[in-house]
Amino acid sequence: MNENGQIDNKSDIEFLKDFIHENEELEKLESIIDRFNIFRSLNIIDNEIRHSNFLAWLLDPSETHGLGDYFLNLFLKKISSQTSSVNHSSPSIFEIDSWTFNYIEVLREWRNIDILIKSDENRFVCVIENKIKSSEGKNQLQRYKKIINHEFGDYKKFFVYLSLEGDIPSDENYLTVSYRDISAIINYIIEVKKDEIGQDILIFISHYRNMLGRYVLEDSKIQEICKSIYKKHKKALDLIFEYKPDLLMEIKDYLELKIKEEPDLISDISSKSFIRFIPKELDFIQREGNGWTKSKRILLFELRNSDRGLGLYFIIGPGPEEIRKQLYKIVKDDLKLFNAANRAFTGKWFTIYKKSWLSTSDYKNRDIIEIKDIIDKRFENFKKDDLPKIEELIKKGFSR
């Protein structure tokens, strides 16, 4: 049924044609998102480490941006506006305005603190805990505060909790700053300093500002266009979303291709989440297993592919107990190699070996090309190191 309450008899193909043909709003959206952005191309949109690196660069008066302490001054004054006039442990806006920052350190990951600003000259220190899409660790803020109070007891201090939308921190001593505040400061700098700083630096900072607005803070203009397009072309967009490629499927396809290209490996029944194989050297074990894969293999390697990461597991599956127990007895001879077998032999599926290949942070901080490179290295290391030992031990055990 369409937006006028009438029944649509169009085919899926016709919906897609309507979506593509003379779609002015789509062209307008593409013209916005197709603009080159250096931060998007470097894949740092929601990478906390790289945002912290950029902010530390801006905050450091001695860095190459040519702004001196201008950004630092504006940032600290923004923070000081939140403090109480009777809070003697924090500097006032008047003190900050009178300070010079001839000798200042902007440190990254000092005692695990994202950004630490330290001025011995002004007896001042500022802690910045930066969160893009993660949340606080347990007692993290309190731990940092304890470290700073111990190391810089008589210094004036700011404790800052920086997040996308100005989330409220668990510790009331931390002041909330949002990326909208950062964006506003950068906007102001671009406006008043555009004739004073170098063109390359201006472009660089502008790219960061644009990236914040478009990808991190969800630019309102893009939202408006997207809502309008979706309202008019919901059916076509739902179809496109249904069949769109996703990262886990790309990884699954790549793993299946790698296994297929290996002359010494045999593919088994796989899915997006479980990619299975067996070395030819170990495919002599009777295929009498039921309840796992159609091949009835009892022993299989399984690459588990999920948004939590990618791990390689070697599993004794369902099958005749005498074969399963024989396999378990063999692997117990080398618990250093079979690092998951040091426990009671229970269950239909018993993991005897496991190794992490990719973590959640790998997915978050890398594109598919970088992920494939990591997979290639993990595969090569596995074939060179652990696989020959595994094959030798199991073959030897069955020949006794």
pLDDT per residue rounded down to tens, the chain (400 residues): 444 444 455 666 665 566 656 566 666 555 555 455 565 655 666 678 888 999 999 999 999 998 999 999 999 999 988 776 445 688 988 999 899 888 899 999 999 999 999 999 999 999 999 998 777 888 899 999 999 999 998 999 999 999 888 888 989 899 999 888 998 999 899 999 888 888 888 888 888 887 787 666 555 566 666 677 667 767 666 666 665 557 888 899 999 999 999 999 999 999 889 999 999 999 999 898 888 899 999 999 999 998 889 999 999 999 999 999 999 999 998 999 999 999 888 888 999 999 999 998 888 778 888 999 999 999 999 999 999 999 999 999 887 6
d(C-alpha 374, C-alpha 3), whole Å = 48
Q: Which two tokens stand for residue 375?
A: 């997979």
Using CA atoms, how far residue 396 sits from 42, 47, 282, 400, in Å, is: 49, 48, 11, 7
The end-to-end CA distance of the chain, in Å, is 71
Using CA atoms, how far residue 329 sits from 107, 114, 299, 322, 341, in Å, is: 54, 49, 14, 10, 10
R_g of the chain, CA atoms, integer Å: 29
For residue 5, what pLDDT is reported? 46
For 293-313, give one letter per residue: b (16+ CB within 10 A) or e. bebebbbbbbbebeeeebbbb
For residue 1, what pLDDT is reported? 42
Q: Name the nearest CA neighbour of 55 among 136, 171, 172, 44.
A: 44
For residue 252, what pLDDT is reported? 92
Whether this prediction's pTM lies above 0.75 is answered by: no
Name the β-bridge partners of 105.
118
DSSP H or E stretch at residue 42? none
Q: Which two tokens stand for residue 242?
A: 């249904």
CA 359-394-345 angle, 5° bins? 70
Q: What are phi and psi of 127, to 5 degrees?
A: -100, 130
Give me the residue spans of the domains in the chain. Answer: 44-197, 247-399
Q: Which two tokens stand for residue 331?
A: 């692997």
For residue 86, what pLDDT is reported? 45
d(C-alpha 348, C-alpha 40), whole Å = 46
Contact 268, 276 (CB under 8 A): yes
Q: Which two tokens stand for residue 17?
A: 């044609």
DSSP H or E stretch at residue 359? strand 350-359
For residue 7, what pLDDT is reported? 41
Q: Which two tokens stand for residue 224?
A: 């408006």
Q: Any residues with CB less than 8 A from the CB of 183 and at least 6 apart, and which?
A: 209, 212, 213, 217
For residue 239, what pLDDT is reported? 64
